[in-house]
Amino acid sequence: MDRLRRMASPLVLAATFAVFVQMCVVLAGRVPAGALTASLTAGALAVALLRTPRPVRALRRLTRAQVLQACGGGLLAVAGAPALIAAMRMTDAPAGSIVVFWASGGWAAVAALGGAVFSLRERRVLSAGWSVAGAMLAVVGVAGVVADWERPSSFSPLVRFAPQELGMLLGGVFLLAGGLLLVRVARSAGTEGTLLWGAAAGFAASFAWWGSSGFSYGWDSLAEHSVEVVLAAVAWGLVCAVWPRMLEVFGPSTGAAALSVTPVLLSALILLEQVVGVAGPQPLVVPGVIAGSLLVLAGVCALAHARGAQTLSAPRPLVLASVVPALLACVGLVLPAIAVRADVTVTGGAFSGSWNMSGAESVAGWAAVALAVLVVMAMADDRPGWPGAAALAASAAWVWLLDVPTHVWNPALAPGIQQYYGTEYGSIGFTALPNAAMTGAVILSAITTVAIMAMRRVRGSRSHVDNGGT
């Protein structure tokens, strides 16, 4: 029961954050940014009030300096993070898959790297390494999932709307920094009053932002999407309530794990709709979604494992030997990995062309690197357990990502040509090319992982026998 209660916060964060991201995809660009952010922060303030029995007393508990810090945390995490998503999306651009990628994979990577920095400050090198490995697996896995939501995919990060996408990524920095400020105040002044001040500051700022453009601007769109707005506000309120506790009790790396599963949960919902028969045609490329989800799962296991990893235990020669798959994977990044064929025919002209994409432009190429990095961490850890097992499952499904590119749009081609992909006027196809270095890296990573896990099991059995004999 205690363990289930302890897992409540990560589970609630994962579920509510997935709802928040999905509602942002629906609402951002359709509802004015100020009005949407004000609605979201109103949800955060409402949740903070509902969980505080005596709000006035809780507010008075903070000193002036603590109030300023709590308000700063709220401006960053409660208002700033969602405001960047709302402000950076223009109707349907960037595409929904890209919004999910940056809000889930990008924000998870920011949190995981923040956890790695804290671990290094505490001289826990192995823990920091697991956080980095988990971040890489999570980001690549999220890319694999969202890139397989449709064919041809709308997933082309940093190709057409790089400033807007980087702005969304900055939202993850705001969420982490603001959450840490709230945690710092809550340690001495209590969680309830801290969250109240933070939510109130976030709501006041976003309400003023909305007011600067005229409160009448946005009411129609809010009314039109009232159900989605309420769902988004409640979900974001719960995220804001749980996020500081996640950072305090579990650390940023475990918080990153909860953020990264969003596309997996959304994909499961789409598949469930297909089962119960309430959805339209099946858009998902299911094998690719499964492969990407397994990579996310491996990342989640690595991030959850990072907190308990303490010391490097393997002999240095073995650790250095485990780097071989990583070197092979890096070589694979520069070799051809995907062949592309595009054909567009419209009134007044036609285009037909083909080109190759390198391993660095394929999800499989980066997945090979991430799996190889996990091998290095597993070799240095006495108990690689769940991360190793999850990595083996991801390695088995890796072949389903071989023809999945990291971007569909080609910066060298005119947008007027590429906008017809997936219509009756144009098509684009991707075919996997042989890449021995990339394939060898994954195979060698899997073999090494099996060997490491077997070696650890034998060592554990011997230690058990020796302890029993004494």
d(CA 214, CA 217) in angstroms, rounded, equals: 6
242 and 328 both lie in a single domain: no
| Residues contacting residue 430 through CB under 8 Å, at least 6 positions apart | 338, 339, 340, 357, 403, 404, 405
d(CA 72, CA 236) in angstroms, rounded, equals: 18
Q: Mark which of 250, 272, 287 sits at the end of a domain.
A: 250
Among 401, 434, 388, residue whose Cα is nearest residue 134: 388
Backbone angles phi, psi at 411, to 5 degrees: -60, -20
Angle at CA of residue 418, ends 414 and 419, nearest 5°:
115
280 within a domain of the structure (yes/no): no
246 and 318 both lie in a single domain: no
260 within a domain of the structure (yes/no): no
**pLDDT value at residue 320:** 72
Q: Which domain holds residue 368?
A: 312-470
Angle at CA of residue 407, ends 98 and 137, nearest 5°:
70
316 and 243 both lie in a single domain: no
363 and 460 both lie in a single domain: yes
361 within a domain of the structure (yes/no): yes
Q: What is the largest CA-CA distance in the chain?
A: 87
- Kindly report the length of the chain: 470
176 and 319 both lie in a single domain: no
**pLDDT value at residue 290:** 95
d(CA 146, CA 215) in angstroms, rounded, equals: 36
Overall domain count for the chain = 2
225 within a domain of the structure (yes/no): yes
Give the DSSP H/E element, type plus range, for residue 446.
helix 436-469
240 and 367 both lie in a single domain: no
**pLDDT value at residue 310:** 63
Q: Mark which of 228, 250, 272 sits at the end of a domain.
A: 250
**pLDDT value at residue 470:** 45
Which amino acid is it at 85? I
292 within a domain of the structure (yes/no): no
237 and 346 both lie in a single domain: no
256 within a domain of the structure (yes/no): no
204 and 352 both lie in a single domain: no
Residue 244 in tokens: 């500081």
73 and 203 both lie in a single domain: yes
Q: Mark which of 250, 269, 299 sits at the end of a domain.
A: 250
305 within a domain of the structure (yes/no): no
Along the 470 residues of the chain, how does pLDDT read in single tens digits? Answer: 566 667 888 999 999 999 999 999 999 989 999 999 999 999 999 999 999 889 899 999 999 999 999 999 999 999 999 999 999 998 788 999 999 999 999 999 999 999 999 999 988 888 999 999 999 999 999 999 999 999 899 999 999 899 999 999 999 999 999 999 999 999 999 899 999 999 999 999 999 999 988 777 888 889 999 999 999 999 999 999 999 999 999 999 999 999 999 999 999 987 777 666 655 667 889 999 999 999 999 999 999 999 877 666 666 666 677 889 999 999 999 999 999 999 999 877 889 999 999 999 999 999 999 999 999 898 888 787 889 999 999 999 999 999 999 999 998 888 888 989 988 899 999 999 999 999 999 999 999 989 888 887 776 665 545 555 44
From the number of C-beta atoms within 10 Å of its C-beta (0-12, 13-18, 19+), residue 331 rates as middle
d(CA 11, CA 53) in angstroms, rounded, equals: 24
Give SS3 for 343. Answer: strand
Among 369, 339, 371, 380, residue whose Cα is nearest residue 356: 339
324 within a domain of the structure (yes/no): yes
172 and 38 both lie in a single domain: yes
331 and 464 both lie in a single domain: yes
d(CA 344, CA 428) in angstroms, rounded, equals: 9
204 and 76 both lie in a single domain: yes
